[in-house]
């Protein structure tokens, strides 16, 4: 599995855990349109997917949302 494919798969899983309005915040953070970020979360392959993944992890950390690695793949936990 390539890094891009892994990022897209992870994003599709993370989308389920995101609070309302999070995609818009992520789009603003990475400087992309809301439509582009939404497409990436739906599985559209883009070179921007890794940036969107990092912004998603940051948002989850900022909100204190901890994801179960067995369910979502990668571990995302609040910074201590």
Could you report the per-residue pLDDT of 23-78, keeping only the tens digit for each?
999 999 999 999 999 999 988 888 998 899 899 988 988 888 777 666 655 554 54
User: Of 56, 41, 57, 48, nearest to 8 (Cα)?
Assistant: 41
Structure-model confidence comparison of residues 8 and 56, the more confident one: 56
The full set of domain ranges for the chain reads: 3-72
């Amino acid at each position: 599995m390539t890094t891009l494919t892994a990022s897209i798969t992870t994003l599709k899983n993370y989308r389920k855990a995101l609070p309302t309005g999070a995609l818009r915040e992520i789009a603003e953070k990475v400087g992309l349109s809301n439509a582009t970020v939404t497409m990436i979360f739906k599985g559209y392959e883009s070179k921007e997917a890794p940036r969107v993944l990092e912004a998603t992890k940051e948002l989850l950390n900022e909100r204190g949302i901890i994801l179960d690695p067995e369910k979502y793949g990668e571990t995302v936990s609040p910074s201590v």
